[in-house]
Structure 1
C-alpha cells in the first residue's frame, strides 16, 4: 500500500514538471530539482518552435538551387531570387533523405527520384508523390521553420 502511494506521488511530481514527461519520473529521488529544471528546458524548446532560431541565412540558399537540412529533415530552395520554398527532405518513394540539390532538381540518390525546386512535384520516378511543403518564415536575412 505504501509503495502504491509513493508511485502515485512520483506520477504527480512528474506531471508538475510539464514537458518533461517520463524523464523526471526516472530521476524523481530529488523531486523538486527536476521540476525546477523542467521550465528552463521547456523555454528553450518553445523558442525553437516559434521560429525565433534561424535555420539559415538567405545568403546560404543559392538562387536556382537549395540546401538540405538533415537534422530538421527539410530542404530549402530558392528557385528564383527572393522566392524561398521549403519541403520535406524525406523522399516519398521509400523514405530516404534527399541528398542533392542543383539547378535541375532535388534528387534522392537512393533510387534517383527527382523533385521540382519550385513546388516539390515529381520530375522523375520511382517516387509518385510530391515532397510535402513545409512552412518557413523569412524575416530580413533569416529563414526559420514556422
Structure 2
C-alpha cells in the first residue's frame, strides 16, 4: 500500500472512530439540533429509590449475606443485627457478584472477593472496594435510605 493510500485509510478510520465515539457519548450538543428533554433516571437494574424495601432482616444470614441481583445490591449481616449494603457490581470488570460465603462477597468472572464487613478487596483483580449503599433497618425490614 502506498503512503498516500495509507493516509486515506487512516483518515477514514479516524473519522469513523470519531463518529462512533460521538454516537456513544453524552448529549453535549453542537447547536445543530434539538436537545432531548431531560428524563427521570432509569431505575431498571440499578439501585432502587429511597425507602424501597430490599429484604427482611430474617432473609440475611448472620456472618453472610444475600445478593439481590435484580436490584444490583448485596446486603450482608457480618454480626447479628449489623446490616450493610454494597453495590453488587464488581469494581474490576462490571460483573454482578454472585454469592456471599465464608465472609466474602464473591464475583464469578475473575475471582475477586470482598469482605462482608466493609466490601474491602480480599482477593483481586478488583482494584477497589464495592461502593456502599445507604440503607435503614426498622421493624425487620431493610430499606434503601
Shorter chain as normaliser: what TM range? 0.5 to 0.7
Deviations 1:43-93 (A, max 9, x none): xxxxx7340x42110000000000001111100000000000000000000
SS in 2 for 1:84: strand
Residue in 2 aligned with 1:142? 141
Q: State the aligned residue count.
A: 102
Between the aligned partners of 2:56 and 2:79, the Cα distance in structure 1 is 16
Once the two structures are TM-superposed, the CA of residue 103 in structure 1 deviates from its matched residue by: 2.6
Segments of 5+ residues of structure 2 without an aligned counterpart are 1-36, 41-47
Once the two structures are TM-superposed, the CA of residue 100 in structure 1 deviates from its matched residue by: 1.0
Question: In the alignment, is residue 101 of structure 1 matched against residue 100 of structure 2?
Answer: yes
SS in 1 for 2:85: strand
Question: In the alignment, is residue 49 of structure 1 matched against residue 46 of structure 2?
Answer: no
Matches for 1:117-128 after TM superposition, within 5 Å: 117-128=116-127
Residue in 1 aligned with 2:68? 69
- Superposition RMSD in Å: 1.9
Residue in 1 aligned with 2:7? none
Q: Which runs of 4+ in 1 moved over 3 A?
A: none
Between the aligned partners of 1:49 and 1:74, the Cα distance in structure 2 is 12
SS in 2 for 1:59: helix
TM score, norm. by length of structure 2: 0.66
Between the aligned partners of 1:109 and 1:144, the Cα distance in structure 2 is 26
Between the aligned partners of 1:95 and 1:121, the Cα distance in structure 2 is 16
